[in-house]
């Protein structure tokens, strides 16, 4: 089994763990592969390019989002070791390195699909795991966003931005903007305004099969991103079309943990 290593940061502790991962992978009878830039950072003598069977992230949630894109490109599962602050998307703690690799070698795991999200702007499409964000460019001026849901006008937001999130993304930017936490096994789309200047500023939870169209209603441009990666800038009358992604993201899981238990562990509750 080939494990595709993704390292998104050049922090010393991350690189040190990545080197431990490469050595432990070899001991477990597995093969670690990586893109040249990652191999150069970690260990160019032991990491070669190759097509992964599983993508492995070493870092925090930002690294996981980068690893998701690699997994989508190769149509393989993904999991991560948590070297971040919260690491909500990661599966394994660093001290579990050997146990996780032994489980991989013995194929003691399950694959859990998670709903993704897709956005199209001016003919360019991107897929993500967490969210699509349409937000203001000029920090001093609100943007006006007209929202249609399944072909019917919903409302116009005057706000700093609008977050369209998956249940997985409910624990990210949407949560910090006041949205609810949604169990990742419940498929839905969350619509959360950022600093809205209107009487209605609540999150709306929609069917996972909803088609959301967001039109920039005035001559104030909006920045559009998918999982923090820029998709482009929407000008007046441009429309961002957002739907469920055609393919789920497959997460590799070594043990079952309920969503409440995950919240308790990651946020230090209880």
Q: Give the tokens for residue 25.
A: 């992978």
List 61, 98, 219, 227, catalytic entry:
61
Q: Are 227 and 63 in contact (CB under 8 A)?
A: no
CA torsion through residues 152, 190, 117, 183, sign: negative
Backbone angles phi and psi of 235, in degrees to 5: -95, 180
> Which residues have CB under 8 Å from 262's CB, separation 6+?
88
CA–CA gap between residue 32 and residue 55 (Å, rounded)? 10
Rounded to an integer, what distance in angstroms lies between the CA atom of residue 65 and that of residue 153?
32
CA 264 – CA 126 distance, rounded (Å): 32
Task: In the chain, count H helices and then E strands.
Answer: 6, 18
Asked if 37 contacts 61 with a C-beta cutoff of 8 angstroms, the reply is no
Q: Among positive and negative, which fits the CA dihedral 259, 262, 264, 267?
A: negative
Nearest C-alpha neighbor of 21 from the set 3, 35, 1, 40: 3
Q: Which residue has the tokens 């005035």?
A: 218
61 is catalytic: yes
Q: Catalogue the active-site residues.
A: 61
């Amino acid at each position: 089994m080939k494990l595709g290593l993704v390292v998104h940061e050049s922090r010393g502790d991350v690189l040190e763990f990545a080197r431990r991962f490469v050595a432990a992978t070899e001991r477990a009878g597995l093969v670690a592969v990586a893109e040249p830039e990652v191999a150069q950072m970690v260990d160019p003598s032991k990491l070669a390019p190759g097509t992964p069977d599983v993508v492995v992230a070493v870092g925090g949630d930002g690294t996981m989002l980068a690893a998701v894109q690699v997994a989508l490109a190769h149509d393989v599962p993904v999991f991560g070791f948590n070297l971040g602050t919260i690491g909500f998307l990661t599966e394994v703690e660093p001290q579990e390195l050997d146990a996780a690799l032994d489980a991989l070698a013995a194929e003691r795991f399950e694959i859990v699909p998670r709903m993704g999200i897709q956005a199209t702007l001016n003919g360019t499409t991107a897929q993500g795991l967490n969210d699509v964000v349409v937000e203001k460019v000029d920090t001093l001026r609100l943007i006006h966003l007209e929202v249609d849901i399944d072909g019917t006008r919903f409302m116009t937001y005057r706000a700093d931005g609008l977050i369209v999130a998956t249940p997985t993304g409910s624990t990210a930017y949407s949560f910090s903007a006041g949205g609810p936490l949604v169990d990742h096994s419940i498929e839905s789309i969350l619509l959360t305004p950022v600093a809205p200047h209107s009487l209605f500023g609540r999150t709306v939870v929609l069917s996972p099969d909803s088609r959301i169209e967001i039109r920039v209603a005035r001559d104030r441009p909006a920045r559009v991103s998918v999982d923090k990666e820029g998709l482009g800038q929407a000008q007046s009358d441009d429309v961002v079309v957002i739907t469920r992604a055609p393919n789920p993201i497959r997460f590799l899981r070594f043990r079952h943990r309920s969503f409440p238990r995950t919240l308790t562990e990651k946020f230090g509750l209880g």
